Structure formats: structure tokens, C-alpha cells
Amino acid sequence: MRKVLEVILLLLLLVFTHAKGTRYSPPGKPALTRCRSPEKETFTCWWEPGSDGGLPTTYALYYRKESSDTVNECPDYRTAGENSCFFNKNDTSIWVNYNITVVATNALGRTFSDPVDIDVVYIVKPNPPEQVAVTVMEDKGWPFIRVSWEPPHKADTRSGWITLMYEIRVKLEEENDWETHLAGQQKMFNIFSLRSGGTYLVQVRCKPDHGFWSEWSSSSYVKVPDYFHREKSVWILITVFCAFIFLIVTWLLHMNSRSLKHFILPPVPGPKIKGFDKQLLKNGKSEEVFSALVVSDFPPKSSNYEDLLVEYLEVYIPEEQELMLEKSMDLDVSCLKSEGSTSDSDSGRGSCDSHTLLMHKCDGVKEGRERQAEEARRHQKDWKEEASTYSNVDSSPDMSSGRVKTWPSVFSPLPRYSSNQQGSLETAKQHYLSDSLFRPSSTSSCHTQPGHGATEALGPSYWECGLSNKQPHLLHPQGQAQRQLQAHSDDNISSIGRKPTPAGLPSPALRSTEYVEVQRVNEEDMVLLQPVSGRCGDVEGYPQVPHGEDYSKVKGVDGDNMLLLQREVREETGNCDTPSTVATTQKPTTCIHSAMPVQGEAVLGVNGYVDTATVFTLPTY
Amino acid sequence: MDRVVLMLSVLSLGVSSQPITDGQRLFSIAVSRVQHLHLLAQRLFSDFESSLQTEEQRQLNKIFLQDFCNSDYIISPIDKHETQRSSVLKLLSISYRLVESWEFPSRSLAGGSAPRSQISPKLSELKTGIHLLIRANEDGAELFPDSSALQLAPYGDYYQSPGTDESLRRTYELLACFKKDMHKVETYLTVAKCRLSPEANCTL
């Protein structure tokens, strides 16, 4: 019966095996995957089983050391887990080759794996470092991370059995890239350049000098505190400061925009001609354009010439002379010209012909006042010789202020002094126009009768004073002239005008031209001049513009430095006798040539008239 | 005679006066040199292995099981426990012998490459250094307890036997043994050094 049962069992087995067919097979070939030693004292080998062939398979690991021929089986299949073999310290030899084979066995057969030779020394893979501590520390306000760890507890680094090297990697929590640092054999590491407020992950691993890297330790999290504010506060300060400076610069630029604009982009000067009207040019009327260019006041007329004169000849008339002035009555000075003269208060004051200077000079002359008449006569004589050497002196004596301004022109009224003689004056018209600038130097030196006159020492001043003295004489009889002179713009003179008596000083700032006409030549060969009037005796004549026929045209200069004047034909109005005589020469010709000694070079004016001031450089004594 | 004794004592004192600092420095130098040699050996071996074909590799693996290193006669600790038990002097002497055993055969390692030609002189220098260390650490104990060191010379001829078919195997063995021995010396020296270092935890 038992035999029948066994046969039946065998048949059943056979049936089963046949039923399953080719599924059952001997086990597949296992393979040793790896063997690792964590501390160079023990090691573990793992294998990969092959197909089991459908049957329960057992695995066995056999090894053989190089020095012996005995084959040993794995002492421990469990400690290291499934499909592993653990060799403990007693079974581990260093620097010894192990030949390890895994055998898979099932009901149908056995399968050997390929043998593997290992040397424990070269399969060391330590455990990850332990006790990884990450702390945030500060270095002068800047934080950094300090990572510290311990070697795996199994690895014996204390005795030097294993030498481990470490590696750290760091990354921000939200990023994917790790930053790796090699730490060598030290157990501590610092990480700098952290992002404030960030969270970092830190991992550590180690490796023996000949072996494999361990696994990374578990991540340690660390949060860096915010030192953000400290950074930003500085930036805020800087920004505010820059904004402030920028505002100031902008304001400055705005204030000086114009000047800057001129500096950087200077305006291009365009052509501009005074009086030039572009519109006229555009219109095409060239005549009008050019006529507009003509300056109306060129050449300067004599009437305005006095405006150009700057220097005044100040003459001081002491009060005593006023009395003397009163005495002279007969002078006809109606034709005294009074031009508006701009006499400024300090004209000539600082110059040599200062008021005080004149005063000084005049004072010296006061002694000679008594001899004025004689002097005058002598002067007249001189004049005669000189034949009105002097041009008109436009004097604006100002008694009120005690000074007399005399225009630096030849004193034409001087000859009128002759009228003091109270003789009838032959009206001789001799007008000498002079627009001259009288040099102060010469003024101070005074016009003296060139080279003549006894009183040379006192000449200049005396002459001046005399002039001032004379003028009142001249002016005295011409009350109307004074009225005329009232119109003078000179304030100094206005007072004079009011004075009915010749105490008021002679004509206010008489402008440049005060024309004199030679009245007659007396028996003593003196030319008596009288002021010009439009009509003889017409006191009320306003400032006369000398007629063309009243002027003498210079014909030429002869060899003896004599100026030959050409008298133009003059219409005989009949009012005045107009014999023109010159003391020196008497030619009974219609054209009377009067020669005047020229002390300098003859300068012919534009229209043939002589600018006598420049011609005659009056001598200085 | 008194003077001789005095001089000898002074000399001995002088020699042992600075054991630690000089020893540490010497150890450091020796360890670094050995490490370098070991790296060289590793590189040589890997180069050789990579140049082999798989079939040859399999054959060689089988052959190598038979343990043909010439230094096998030198008994050395083969695990940590044994190493810890050994004294520093023993470790140093073993290291000395190992280096010495390779001084001659390393010349046969020389091929055409430069690293090979450098091995022999380095070994000589290392041997000198270890000798100095021994001198520095010996306490008057036996210098060479093992007489087996004198048996070096006969083994030297072992690797000189020519044979073209065995040349490959021989080279393989040579390189493998060299690599292993260098690692041994490195380990022994490191352990000895750590044992002598003043710090408890030998991190260097």
C-alpha cells in the first residue's frame, strides 16, 4: 500500500511538473552586486538573485581567503538584510583577498554566480557624518553659517585606522543648485556670503583616503536673520542725499539757465546796422534804405559842437569886477550866442583851470585891476597885430558861483573890450568861427597875446581875468542880450540873466561860437570887434547862425605863415557897414583878404573854414 | 671611560630630547610619502587592468588567488585588532621591511612611463625615513627581532625569471602586491603616528 502511495505521489509530482510544464527551472544566476565595509573592520556583501525558476530557491555565499584553500560559508545572512552576507570583525581580514561566490539552489538545481575578489581596504564606504550642527554666527555684523559634525561612530579615526575627508554642500531652500565645499579632514566649516533672510540646507558626507564617498547626511535647516535693514538704511541715506543734491543742482541750473545758455550756446550775433531797416530792403526800395542810413546829425553842426566839448575853462570873477562891469554900458552883445550848454558842476574843476587856481591867478591880478584899461588897450593893440588871433571864447562866466566858464575858444569878445573905450566901433564884420577845444593846459596858461603884452607874467591869468572882467563890460550894455541869455540852459547863468545890471556876470555858458564882427579899425591900428548880430544893433537877435557870407573862407596860407582869408561877397543889407578890415593888411578890394598869423599849421575845415583853435596854438608863458 | 659614558649619555639624551616634535614631523613626512607611493601603485594597477582584455582578466583573477606576493613571508597584522596590539616599534620595523622588500623588485616595474621609474628612489628615501623613525623611537630594544629580514635577498630573484607568457601575469601580480604593500605601510605608519601624537583624537 505504501508503495502504491509513493508511486501515486511521484506520479502526482510528475503530473504537477508536467502540468506546469517548462515553468520550473533551475534558479537563475545570482550576481553579487556590491560589498561594502563601513569602517574597514567589517564588511557586507549583497547579491541580486536571479530568476528563481518558479521554485523556492535558497542562496548561499561562499568565500575563500587567498591564503587558505578552505571554503567557508557566510557566517551571517540576517544582519545586513535580505540577500546579504555580513562579515564581522573576526571574519574580516585586511589586505587579504576574498573570493566570494553566491550559489542559488532550488529543487531543480544550483547556480553559481561569478566570483568576486575583494580586498576590504578598497571597499570602504563609511557612514554619513553624524551630529551635524549648523549655527548662525556673526562676524562684524555680517552673519555666516558654521557647520560642525562628527565622524560616523563606527569609523575609528582616533587611532588613525581610518582617515576621513569631508565634504559639505549648501543650498537655498527654494533653489535647486547645491554649492559644494571640500572640508578636508576638519570637522568644522564656515559658510559666508549669505542671503539675508534666506533658509539654507546643509549636508555633509565623508570618504576615506582610499574608498567610496558616504551618503549625504540628512539636511539641516538654518535660517539666516535679516541684516537687510542695515544694508538698506545705508542705501536709503545715500539715496536721500543724492536726491537732495540733485534738487539743489536743478535749482541752481534753473536760476542760471540764461547765463548757462549764453555760456554753452552763445548767441550768434547777427548783422545789425543802426538805422538799417530790413523791411525796406526787402521791399526793394534801396533809396529809402540808404537814406535811412544817413545820419542826420553828421557832420556835426557847429551848434551842437559845444556838446562835444568836455573841458571847461573856468574863470573866476571876483566881486570887484562886477562893479567894473557895471561901468561898461555900451557894448552891444546882443549877438552873443547862447547855446544850451551843459555845464556840469565839476567841469574843469579838477583840471588846471580850476576855480581855485583861477582864483589864485586872478587874485594876483587884482592888484593890476587899475591898469586894466591900459592893459586892455595894450591888449587891443596886440589884437590888432594878431588880427583876431583868437577865436570866440565862449565864456560862461558865472558870477553867482564865482567862476567863469570860458569855452576854450579864442576869445572873440575880447576885442570888444575896445568898446570900453567908449568909442564908436566901426562895425567890421569879421566873424571868426571857432569851434575849438581849448586845452586845459593852454587854458591854465591862458591865452595870452601871443608873444605880446607886457604883463607876461600875469598874462594868462590876467587875460583870463581880464576876459572875465571885460565880458561884463561887454555884456553890460546889453540887457537884452542878457535876457537872451536867460534862455540859456545853464543854471549858473540863469541868475546872471536876471540881473539887470552887468553885475550879473556875462553871458551864461556861451556856446562855442560867439561871433564877433570887426567893427572898425581905429586910428591906432586896433581892430575893434563887436559881437555879431543878425542885424546891427539888434539886441534881441537870437543866437545867430552865421550866414555864410559872414564867414571868412581861408584862401590859403602864404609863405609867412599868414592865413589868407577870403572874404565872400556879401550882400549889403545896408544895416551894417561891413567893411572888413584887418589891422595888418588893408586892401581895397572887395575881397578882402585877411591874414592871420598862423602859429601852427593851417588846418582847413571841411568847408574851407578854419578851425582856429587847432590852428592857433596859443603860446604859453 | 667616564668621558665615553658621559658622551654617550649626552648623545642619547640629545637623540631622545626631542622625540615628539621631530618624530611627528618625520612621521608626517613618511606618511605623506607613503601615501604618494600608494597612489602611484594604484594608478599603475588600474592602468594595467584597463589595458587587459576581459578574457585575460578572468584568467588572472583565478591565478591571483594563489597569493604570490613576495612579502608574504613578512608577518604583519592583518586587522585592526592586531595592529592595535602591535607596538609602534614593531609597526615601524614591519614597515621598514616591507619597503625594503620592494626596493629591488620595483625596478622591474619600470616600463616606459615616468611614474614607474620614480618608484625605486622613492622607496629608498622612504626606507631611510623609516629607519630614522626607528632610531628615534627605539628604546634600546631589539632592532630586528626577526631574522627573516635577512632572507630578503633570495626572494629577489623570483621576479627576475623571464617568461613571455607569464610576463603578463607577473606584471599583474607585481602591481597588485605593490599596491597592497604600500597601503599596509601607510596604515601602519598612520597608526603609529597617531599613537604617538599628543592629541587624543588623531585627526591628521
> For residue A7, what are the contacts with CB-CB under 8 A and spacing of at least 6?
none
Looking at the DSSP bridge assignments, the partners of residue A620 are none
Quote the mean pLDDT of chain A: 66
Residue B116: count of CB within 10 angstroms of its CB: 17
- Which residue in A459, A461, A266 sits closest to A359, CA to CA? A461
The alpha-carbon gap from A194 to the nearest alpha carbon of chain B, in Å, equals 29
pLDDT in tens, A397-437: 444 444 444 444 444 444 444 444 444 444 434 444 334 44
Q: What is the pLDDT of residue B75?
A: 86
Residues of A with CB under 8 A from a CB of B: 40-41, 64, 66-67, 89, 92-97, 99, 115, 117, 119, 121, 156-161, 163, 185-187, 209-210
* Contact state of A95 with B83 under an 8 Å Cβ cutoff: no
Which pTM value belongs to this model?
A: 0.49
Question: Using the 8-state DSSP alphabet, how is residue A119 labeled?
Answer: E
Which chain B residue's Cα is nearest to A67?
Answer: B67
Residue percentage of chain A with pLDDT more than 70: 43
Selecting from A99, A160, A187 the residue whose C-beta is nearest the C-beta of B191 gives: A160
Q: Mean per-residue pLDDT for A150-160?
A: 87
User: Which part of chain A is CATH 2.60.40.10?
Assistant: 31-119, 130-232
User: Distances from the Cα of B87 to the Cαs of A156, A555, B82, B95, B134, in angstroms?
Assistant: 18, 150, 10, 12, 12
pLDDT tops 50 at residue A449:
no
Q: How confident is the model at residue A4 (pLDDT cuts 50, 70, 90)?
A: confident
* Contact state of B183 with A157 under an 8 Å Cβ cutoff: no
* Contact state of A159 with B84 under an 8 Å Cβ cutoff: yes
Q: What is the CATH number of the domain that holds B43?
A: 1.20.1250.10
Backbone angles phi, psi at A368, to 5 degrees: -90, 15
Buried b (16+ CB within 10 A) or exposed e, B51-78: eeeeeeeeebbeebbeebbbbeebebbb
The alpha-carbon gap from B103 to the nearest alpha carbon of chain A, in Å, equals 20
* Contact state of A66 with B66 under an 8 Å Cβ cutoff: yes
Sign of the dihedral defined by the CA atoms of residues A192, A195, A198, A200, in that order:
negative
pLDDT in tens, B72-96: 788 888 888 888 888 888 888 999 9
Selecting from A159, A161, A210 the residue whose C-beta is nearest the C-beta of B183 gives: A210
User: Distances from the Cα of A429 to the Cαs of A208, A384, A476, A557, A592, in angstroms?
Assistant: 141, 14, 21, 21, 11
Q: What is the pLDDT of residue A178?
A: 92
The alpha-carbon gap from B7 to the nearest alpha carbon of chain A, in Å, equals 37
| Any domain includes B203 | no
CB pairs under 8 A between A and B: 71
Query: Which H, E and C letters describe A309-361, residue by residue?
Result: CCCCEEECCCHHHHHHHHHCCCCCCCCCCCCCCCCCCCCCCCCCCCHHHHHHH
Backbone angles phi, psi at A387, to 5 degrees: 55, 65
**Helix, strand, coil in percent for chain A, rounding step 5:** 30, 25, 50
Instruction: Out of A409-413, B31-35, B184-188, B199-203, pick the least confident.
Output: A409-413
| ipTM metric | 0.76
Q: How confident is the model at residue B203 (pLDDT cuts 50, 70, 90)?
A: low
User: Distances from the Cα of B100 to the Cαs of A273, B43, B149, in angstroms?
Assistant: 116, 21, 9
Best-predicted range by mean pLDDT (A227-236, A245-254, A495-504, A521-530)? A245-254
User: Is the backbone of residue A582 left (phi > 0), alpha (psi -120 to 50) or beta?
Assistant: beta
Q: Mean per-residue pLDDT for A570-598?
A: 43
Question: Using the 8-state DSSP alphabet, how is residue A281 labeled?
Answer: H
Q: Which helix H or strand E contains B54, and what residues bound it? A: helix B54-64
* Contact state of A159 with B194 under an 8 Å Cβ cutoff: yes
Q: How confident is the model at residue A331 (pLDDT cuts 50, 70, 90)?
A: very low
- All residues of chain B having their beta carbon less than 8 Å from the beta carbon of residue A161 are 80, 83, 187, 190-191
Q: Which helix H or strand E contains A564, and what residues bound it? A: strand A562-567
Q: What is the pLDDT of residue A522?
A: 67
Residues A319, A363: Cα–Cα separation, whole Å: 11
Classify domain A31-119 by CATH number: 2.60.40.10
Half-sphere CA count of A429, side-chain side, radius 13 A = 27
Count: domains in chain B: 1
Question: Using the 8-state DSSP alphabet, how is residue A535 labeled?
Answer: S
Backbone angles phi, psi at A464, to 5 degrees: -65, -50
Sign of the dihedral defined by the CA atoms of residues A336, A339, A342, A347, in that order:
negative
Selecting from A64, A96, A161 the residue whose C-beta is nearest the C-beta of B80 gives: A161
pLDDT in tens, A220-250: 999 888 776 666 778 899 999 999 999 999 9
Selecting from A40, A41, A67 the residue whose C-beta is nearest the C-beta of B67 gives: A67
- All residues of chain B having their beta carbon less than 8 Å from the beta carbon of residue A94 are 78-80, 187
pLDDT tops 70 at residue B177:
yes
User: Residue B123's domain spans which residues?
Assistant: 22-68+76-137+164-196
* Contact state of A66 with B81 under an 8 Å Cβ cutoff: no
Selecting from B66, B183, B190 the residue whose C-beta is nearest the C-beta of A95 gives: B183
- All residues of chain A having their beta carbon less than 8 Å from the beta carbon of residue B183 are 95, 121, 210
pLDDT in tens, A267-280: 788 777 776 666 66
- All residues of chain B having their beta carbon less than 8 Å from the beta carbon of residue A185 are 203-204
Task: State the angle between helix axes of B19-51 and B164-196 in degrees (0 to 180), rounded to the nearest 10.
Answer: 150
- All residues of chain A having their beta carbon less than 8 Å from the beta carbon of residue B184 are 95
- All residues of chain B having their beta carbon less than 8 Å from the beta carbon of residue A89 are 79-81
Q: Determine contact, residues A569/A416, Cβ cutoff 8 Å.
A: no
Selecting from A41, A95, A117 the residue whose C-beta is nearest the C-beta of B180 gives: A95
Residues A221, A198: Cα–Cα separation, whole Å: 10
Q: What is the pLDDT of residue A181?
A: 93
Q: Determine contact, residues A564/A584, Cβ cutoff 8 Å.
A: no
* Contact state of A158 with B78 under an 8 Å Cβ cutoff: no
Q: Mean per-residue pLDDT for A28-36?
A: 89
Q: Which helix H or strand E contains A480, and what residues bound it? A: helix A479-486
| Any domain includes B159 | no
Q: How confident is the model at residue B116 (pLDDT cuts 50, 70, 90)?
A: low
* Cis before A299? omega within 30: yes
Q: What is the pLDDT of residue A168?
A: 94
Q: Determine contact, residues A101/A113, Cβ cutoff 8 Å.
A: yes
Give the architecture (CATH level 2) of A130-232.
Sandwich (2.60)
